[in-house]
Structures are given as structure tokens and as C-alpha cells.
């Protein structure tokens, strides 16, 4: 999901540079929404791990 947020962010930046303001605005809104969803899911997973007493896997 984070990959989709980054994709929409890059699309918005390219559209903004090329002068497509409407496409850039929509893309940046999608990127913001997807990032917030990703962040919420990450926090839920981290809290769930912490409540079960498991440590996060080593990277």
C-alpha cells in the first residue's frame, strides 16, 4: 500500500511539472489517503504485536 502512495505522489509531481493541475491535485489526494491508511494499519499491527508480547522480527 505504501508503494501505491509513493506511485501517486510521483504521478502528482510529474503532472504538476507538466502543468496538469487537476491530475496533480487528485493524485496527491490519493497519495495522502493511502499513506494515512498504511500508517493506521502499521500502528494496529505494531500494537497487536506488542500486546501479544512478541518482539518484531529482525531485519
Per-residue confidence (pLDDT) for residue 54, from 0 to 100: 64
Q: Average pLDDT of the chain?
A: 81
Q: Which helix or strand (DSSP H or E) is residue 32 part of?
A: helix 21-52
pLDDT tens for each residue of 43-52: 998 888 888 8
CA distances from 37 to 11, 13, 14, 28, 50 (A): 19, 21, 23, 14, 20
Q: What is the pTM of this model?
A: 0.64
Amino acid at each position: 500500500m505504501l508503494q501505491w502512495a509513493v506511485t501517486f505522489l510521483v504521478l502528482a509531481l510529474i503532472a504538476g511539472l507538466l502543468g496538469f493541475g487537476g491530475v496533480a491535485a487528485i493524485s496527491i489526494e490519493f497519495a495522502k489517503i493511502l499513506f494515512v491508511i498504511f500508517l493506521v494499519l502499521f500502528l494496529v499491527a505494531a500494537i497487536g504485536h506488542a500486546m501479544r508480547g512478541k518482539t518484531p522480527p529482525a531485519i
